[in-house]
Amino acid sequence: MSALPPPPPPQWVVALNSPMPRPSKAANSIPDPPGFTSSNARGGKQVSLHNPTWMPRDFEHVTDMHQRQQQDKQPATMRPEETDTLKLKKAWEIAMAPSKQLPMQAIMMYMSGNSLQIFSIMMVLMLFKGPIQGLINTNAAFAKYETPSTKARLVGVKAVYVLMQLLLFALGVWKVNGMGLLPTTRSDWLAWESERQPLERAFFAFK
Amino acid sequence: MSLEANSEAKRFYSTSSPWEARIGYYRAVRRGQHIFVSGSTAADPDSPPEAPRVRYPGDARQQARVTLEEIIQAIQAVGGKGAESVVRCRMFVSRKEDCGVVGEAFREILGKQNGGQLRRVRGRLVAISISAQSCRQHHPLLPPLLPPACRSSTNMRLQAALLAAACISPAVAIFSDEVNHIDFHHALLGAPSSDSTFFLKPSSASNASLLYTLSDKLILGAVNPRDGALVWRHNISRSDSPAGGAGLLRGLDGNNAVVGAAGDYISSWSAQDGKLIWDQQFDGNNVADIELLELEDVTATSDTRDTLALISGKSFGSVRRFDGDSGAVKWEYIDESGDIPFQVSSSPTEVFYISLQSGLLKSSKIKVTALDPITGRQTSQQVLNTEGDITGPESVLFAGANTASPLIVWTDKAHKSLKINVIGSKQISSLAIDNTSGEEIRQITVHAPHKLNSLPHFLVHYKTGSGAWAEVYHVDLKSAAVTKAYQLPYLQGQSVIATSSIDANVYFTRVTDSEVVVVSSASHGIIGRWNVDASSADYAQAAVAEVVAKGKSVAVRAVVLRDSGDWQLIRNGQIEWTRPEALIDAVAATWVEAEEKEDLAHELEVEGHDSIHGAYIHRVKRHVRDLQHLPDWLKALPQRIVSSVLSDEVTNLDSFGVAKPVIVATRSGRVYALDTGRQGAVIWSVQASEQAWDVKDITARPGQVIIDLSDGSYVSVNASTGKTSTHTALEGTKVQSIANFVVSDGSSLVRLGGVGIREDGSPVTPFNDITGFLVTTSVNGRVLGWIESDNKTPVWEFVPPSGQKAVKATARPAHDPVASIGKVLGNRSVLYKYLSPNLVLVTAVNEKDHVAGLYLLDGVSGRVLHSATQAGVDPTQPISSVMSENWFAYSFFGDAIGESSAKGYQLVISELYESSIANDRGPLDAAGNYTSLHSSGAESLPLPHVVSQSFMITEPISHMTVTQTRQGITTRQLLCTLPSSNSIVGIPRPVLDPRRPVDRDPTSAEAEEGLFRYAPFLDFDGKWYLTHTRDVAGIKDVLSRPTLLESTSLVLAYGGDIFGTRATPSQAFDVLGKSFSKLQLVLTVVALTGGVIFLAPVARKKQVNLLWKAT
């Protein structure tokens, strides 16, 4: 049984399926008209906007407006449970973020060697700075996702976050130990040990 | 011609010689400091390689010239200097008759400095091969004081040593600009004997003369009269020689050699460089006299004159004539009449043998036998009737040596008349001695010229208790009559006469308290007079002089030996240099604190013992008192700043205790103070004892030095003035050593007291005020331990097993700080050091079966903690040992006994640890104290874990000591005295680590610890030699002492020469180097300040402008 080939799709379908070629670089550099924000730029900014601890209040409105616009595009409106799930999902992402650094840092530390040089020392310092700052800012990092409803569930997320930071910290300790900077051996405490003194004293007359 | 440089390793030079191309070799190869030139001949560079030709066929002389020029070109092409670089040359000549002309060409081109060898080969007429050396400096390893008998046997070793040393010579132990700055050296000869000291031109070609002498220590040496520096020296005493009085040394102007004799040994040395020409030893028969034959035979070919020697056997006397070049005996005259051989002398035509024929009543007659100089046959004999006047060789005042009219001079017993015989005649002239001084004549000496062509004049010098005068006599050659010419007046005080001659003229130089006077022998007119302030109590004993005529006036250099042993050159009334020859044979030395330091220490001590209030007032008073120095200090300030910027040394280190005075006591009873900050210059010297003394100990106390003697008495010497006072012992007990109870208090040592030790090892008195034990040795080879209250019976006694006798016992130095009590291994675990201040290391030897035992004892209980036995030890070779910190080292000559043992000099090092396991402190663990008195118990002393390793070394070590630093942080150096190369070497301790891995490379952990692979042969690195190029002879003892600088240790070696230096085993890490420029630093700061001052207004203006623009 042979059938006729389907009729060619209409022009708009073709246009829909195959997007426009990427605008050229020159086109990209054309500044946006005032009041217009391209979706690309907004997407790029999104990450930083998610963590708006430093933002002034009225600026948040703008962000909220953007989000609302985004949500408006979606077919269904979000329910509070869904928002919470989403927030939790985001929180998990943040909690697991340090673990992504772990293999990279481990390789870097391994490759940098155990010699005491300015670069390896600086790398180790940076390695310590990250987890320590992260640990101090634990609550701040999750403040955005903390709502009365998610609070209980965020405890576990925070614990994982702390654990991950501790893992990074442990990596730093391992590295410092490898560099021989930890006083873990007997020789490190040798200077505090004293010579055993005899109770009797002998004098000599050889010559 | 091309020069191919192959980095550092080898440099080549090739020419277009046909043979080079054909065979494939280079003309010259340079490796390091050595240049080797291959066999060269007069090859024609234009000839093809297939058919090589030579230039100048048939003309050996031209061929030799061309060849040598080619060789010199090759040497220069690879960086040598040229002809003067050549050290060895071997020439092959195919026709024997060409040797002469080839030799001439050799002399023409290579000059005189080289020893060449001529050999015959077939083929080409001449072929030459050469080794040259491009390094310029004299090498430390060549020992000029090596006895000539050993020279041939050690030739190979020397060559090997030179080769090895040449490789390392660029890196020397100290920088050349530090020589004479941080170190000093008194190269000593001993007191010169008056009749064996003379000025002499070393060769007929030279203008300047050297001063030659043979000292009472039988060291023959040449001294540069310009600055008093030693040119060369040799010890010509032989240990197997019979003790036979002073040595003899003879030299002749125009002769290349000086001939010395001591005991039964006679040797001829090149006057220029001190190389041995020939030597002879007559077993047990003393050399009574030697003369150089000034007259020249028709057959004489060389510059070296023949030697006449009088050998005195038990029952015979023998006159021998030795060939000047080879030492072969030309003839011998034997006198078996039983006379006492006395002297030989010669006149232009005859050789005289003077002997003493014993007559009645202990008196003797002088017998003169004239010999033919060519054949040695007796030509005539005369016996002088001298009975009643002469009792032995000492009563003959003078037996003329080589003067135109040789004389025999003696006096009657009452010193009333002078009897003179012109040798060869029978006539005895008797001259009355005109003694107007009113004092008894103590000494009569006769001074006559020693040259054949001099005028027959002589001078008789009469010395009384307080003054002296002299009379000059002329001899009539024809009639042999002696007439008095004139008199040098009687003068109070000292007076010595020296004779010198220019051509036929004879000059007498008289050195007195106030002046130096030169007179001609012909008339009494004074032709030179200089004022000299030499009116010290230090009387001149003897003098030699060299007079130079300058038109009508004269210049004179007189070398005077003083009572103090100082040897002084006075040139035209100016003292040019002084050599402290009596410093030889030092037996004890110690450093003393400079005076002002001691004052401060004393003041601080007072403050320490006072109450707080009293101490405060004392201190304020002290500072107020110090204010009086302020003007001086301010005055000196600009100069100090300038000198600190401009001086060589960046920091003047004297205030850090590196320039402490040294007090040295010599065997002859003199005490010297040397300033180590000024090249060891003598600060003062004093005769503390009239006779030789047996010094047992020397200790520095505040302001004074105590010298303990073997009879129990002691001499205290003021450290700054040299004032001595002797304190005799109450009971005259003979002591063999002195025990000093010294405890270490921080970085200083505190002496609690001392006690003498008798020969049996017992203390002279109980030492009740000291708590502690005393360890002594006895002369019968035992080690004894004593407790304070009992000096009769020892608490323990160590008798070495199996017939061994303790020959040496050592302990750790009193100042031996330990910076770290453990050794950190590569994996950062710790091996704990076994540290006990009570350890004693005993060296015991059984001389019969050649076994040596090393015993480590606990000084409190006498328990043997460790022992090691070495078989096949040669007890006649030096065995030295030393102990410090947790290790000890010893050295000996071992024979190959077992399979694994080796024959040669060995250096063994052993380290002591608390446990073989890392991080383990042994059974005592963390206990803070231990006792040696309970052998079992929680606190008793455990046995050490010992790690040992031995190294083969090339030379014997006669003495070992260890560098001491203030806190012991600096690496230690093992200071070894090498008697066979006259040097002191400081071996770094890390090199001697017994834990160096054997037969494998170190693991990374071991490498991190600094261990490297063990090599059984320990080659002394050139950088280790503290003495660098110096020839430091006769060292018996080396001392070390810390300074205020942790990096620096003072070292003093004495015994023969005196040598002092600063050792920095870990480099001078706490001293700014010379490359640090204070001036640059100051200028930089000034420039930066100037820049800031200049730029500040500009910058300010700009900022203000900016603010205006912004708005």
In the numeric block, the tokens 């234009």 are attached to B46
Residue B17 has pLDDT above 80, yes or no: no
- The answer to whether A205 faces chain B, any CB pair under 8 Å, is yes
Per residue of chain A (207 residues), what is the pLDDT tens digit?
456 778 888 888 888 888 777 767 766 677 777 777 655 544 444 444 444 444 444 444 544 555 555 544 555 567 778 888 888 888 888 888 888 888 988 898 888 888 888 888 888 898 899 999 999 998 888 888 888 887 888 888 889 999 999 999 999 999 888 888 888 888 889 989 888 888 888 999 887
- Neighboring chain B residues of A193 at a CB cutoff of 8 Å: 821-822
* pLDDT score for B166: 34
* pLDDT score for B296: 63
For A203, the closest chain B residue by CA position comes to B774
Pairing of strands B929-930, A197-198: parallel
- Neighboring chain B residues of A195 at a CB cutoff of 8 Å: 818, 821, 835
CA dist B80 and B11 (Å) reads 11
Supply B496's token pair. 């010595």
- Of the candidates B71, B66, B70, the residue with the CA atom closest to the CA atom of residue B88: B71
B920 CB-contact burial (10 Å; exposed 0-12 / middle 13-18 / buried 19+): middle
pLDDT tens digits along B322-355 = 988 888 898 999 888 888 888 888 887 888 888 8
In the numeric block, the tokens 């009975």 are attached to B387
CA dist A39 and A41 (Å) reads 5
* pLDDT score for A41: 46
Supply B415's token pair. 């010193």
Largest Cα–Cα separation, chain A: 126
Where is pLDDT greater, at B163 or B803? Answer: B803
DSSP per-residue letters across B249-306 = EEE-TT-SEEEEEETTEEEEEETTT--EEEEEE-TT-EEEEEEE--S--TT--SSPPP
CB B308 within 8 A of CB B341: no
Which of the four pLDDT bands, split at 50, 70 and 90, describes residue B295? low
- Considering just the CA atoms, what is the radius of gyration of chain A in Å? 31
How far from chain centre, in Å, is Cα B865?
Answer: 40
Which of the four pLDDT bands, split at 50, 70 and 90, describes residue B150? very low
Instruction: For residue B1008, give every residue at least 6 positions away whose Cβ sits within 8 Å of its Cβ, in sequence order, or none.
Output: B826
- DSSP symbol at B852: E
B948 in the same domain as B809: yes
pLDDT tens digits along B214-229 = 998 889 999 999 999 9
CB B180 within 8 A of CB B679: yes
> What's phi and psi for B687, nearest 5 deg?
-90, 100
pLDDT tens digits along B67-125 = 888 888 888 888 777 777 777 777 777 777 777 788 787 777 776 544 444 443 333 44
CB B462 within 8 A of CB B409: no
B120 in the same domain as B73: yes
Yes or no, beta carbons of A201 and B931 under 8 Å apart:
no
CA dist B133 and B1040 (Å) reads 37
For B920, the closest chain A residue by CA position comes to A186
Vertex B533: Cα angle to B527 and B538 (nearest 5): 115
* pLDDT score for B189: 92
- Neighboring chain B residues of A199 at a CB cutoff of 8 Å: 929-931, 933, 939
B618 in the same domain as B485: no
Mean pLDDT to the nearest integer, B426-430:
83
Indicate the number of domains in chain B. Answer: 5
CB B496 within 8 A of CB B542: yes
- Neighboring chain B residues of A205 at a CB cutoff of 8 Å: 737-740, 755, 757, 774-777
B908 in the same domain as B856: yes
Q: What is the nearest CA distance from B289 to chain A, expressed in angstroms? A: 41
Q: Which of B233-247, B316-330, B984-998 is the most confident on average?
A: B984-998
CB B838 within 8 A of CB A198: yes
B19 in the same domain as B120: yes
Where is pLDDT greater, at B301 or B24? Answer: B24
CA dist B1034 and B1031 (Å) reads 10
- The answer to whether A192 faces chain B, any CB pair under 8 Å, is no
Where is pLDDT greater, at B194 or B138? Answer: B194
DSSP per-residue letters across A57-103 = HHHHHHHHHHHHHHHHHSSSPPPHHHHHHHHHHHHHHHHHHHHHHHH
> Is residue B291 domain-resident?
no
What percent of chain B is modeled with pLDDT above 90?
30
Where is pLDDT greater, at B59 or B863? Answer: B863
Vertex B1007: Cα angle to B1004 and B1010 (nearest 5): 160
> Is residue B877 domain-resident?
yes
Top residue of B696, B758, B860, B920 to mutate, by most chain A CBs within 10 Å, is B860
Supply B748's token pair. 């200083």
pLDDT tens digits along B881-937 = 999 999 999 999 988 777 667 789 999 999 999 999 989 888 887 788 888 887 666
* pLDDT score for B647: 61
Task: Write the single-letter amino acid at B167.
Answer: C
For B743, the closest chain A residue by CA position comes to A203
Q: What is the nearest CA distance from A21 to chain B, expressed in angstroms? A: 48
CB pairs under 8 A between A and B: 117
Instruction: For residue B254, give every residue at least 6 positions away whose Cβ sits within 8 Å of its Cβ, in sequence order, or none.
Output: B201, B204, B303
Q: How far is CA B1090 from CA B109, B270, B854, B1093, B1095, in A?
A: 64, 67, 70, 5, 9
Residue of B772, B808, B930 with shortest CB distance to A196? B930
B576 in the same domain as B617: no
Domain borders along chain A are 80-181
CA dist B1020 and B1025 (Å) reads 8
CA dist B974 and B989 (Å) reads 7
CB B161 within 8 A of CB B146: no
B909 in the same domain as B809: yes
Mean pLDDT to the nearest integer, B119-133:
46
Residue B796's CB: how many other CB atoms inside 10 A? 18
Supply B541's token pair. 């004993």
B548 in the same domain as B650: no
Domain boundaries, position B825: 800-927+940-953
* pLDDT score for B950: 92
- Of the candidates B752, B907, B889, the residue with the CA atom closest to the CA atom of residue B814: B752
Residue of B738, B811, B932 with shortest CB distance to A200? B932
Strands in chain A per DSSP E: 197-198, 202-205
In the numeric block, the tokens 């077992």 are attached to B898
Q: At which of B530, B549, B583 does a domain end?
A: B583
- Neighboring chain A residues of B770 at a CB cutoff of 8 Å: 203
Q: At which of B953, B988, B1023 does a domain end?
A: B953
Top residue of B587, B745, B828, B931 to mutate, by most chain A CBs within 10 Å, is B828
* pLDDT score for B515: 86
The edge-to-edge listing of strands for the beta sheet with B864-871 is B805-811, B839-846, B851-858, B864-871
How far from chain centre, in Å, is Cα B493?
Answer: 35
Yes or no, beta carbons of A197 and B929 under 8 Å apart:
yes
B613 in the same domain as B575: no
Mean pLDDT to the nearest integer, B402-423:
80
B335 forms beta bridges with B317
- Of the candidates B294, B171, B274, B256, the residue with the CA atom closest to the CA atom of residue B214: B274
Sign of CA dihedral B239, B243, B246, B247: negative
B557 in the same domain as B457: yes
Mean pLDDT to the nearest integer, B268-279:
90
Mean pLDDT, chain B, whole residue set: 83
Residue B147 has pLDDT above 60, yes or no: no
- Of the candidates B727, B731, B723, the residue with the CA atom closest to the CA atom of residue B715: B727
pLDDT tens digits along B447-461 = 888 887 788 888 999
Top residue of A182, A185, A189, A204 to mutate, by most chain B CBs within 10 Å, is A204
Strands in B377-466 per DSSP E: 378-384, 396-399, 407-411, 417-422, 428-432, 441-447, 457-464
Which of the four pLDDT bands, split at 50, 70 and 90, describes residue B297? low
CA dist B319 and B344 (Å) reads 8
B774 CB-contact burial (10 Å; exposed 0-12 / middle 13-18 / buried 19+): buried
B568 in the same domain as B450: yes
Mean pLDDT to the nearest integer, B481-494:
86
pLDDT tens digits along B818-866 = 999 999 998 889 999 999 999 999 999 998 988 999 999 999 988 999 9
B103 in the same domain as B40: yes
Yes or no, beta carbons of B811 and A206 under 8 Å apart:
yes
Residue B283's CB: how many other CB atoms inside 10 A? 8
> Is residue B913 domain-resident?
yes
In the numeric block, the tokens 């070296």 are attached to B304
> Is residue B292 domain-resident?
no
ipTM greater than cut 0.85: no
Residue B22 has pLDDT above 80, yes or no: no
Mean pLDDT to the nearest integer, B189-198:
89
- The answer to whether B26 faces chain A, any CB pair under 8 Å, is no
- Which of B877-907 are b and which e, b meaning 16 or more Cβ less than 10 Å from the residue's Cβ? ebbbbbbbbbbbbbbbbbeeeeeeebeebbb
Top residue of B820, B827, B843, B969 to mutate, by most chain A CBs within 10 Å, is B820
Gap between the terminal Cα atoms of chain A: 126
* pLDDT score for B648: 56
- Which of B528-543 are b and which e, b meaning 16 or more Cβ less than 10 Å from the residue's Cβ? bebebebeeebebbbb
pLDDT tens digits along B724-766 = 888 887 667 888 888 888 888 766 788 888 888 888 888 888 8
Which of the four pLDDT bands, split at 50, 70 and 90, describes residue B938? low
Supply B192's token pair. 């010169």
> What's phi and psi for B614, nearest 5 deg?
-60, -40
* pLDDT score for B430: 86
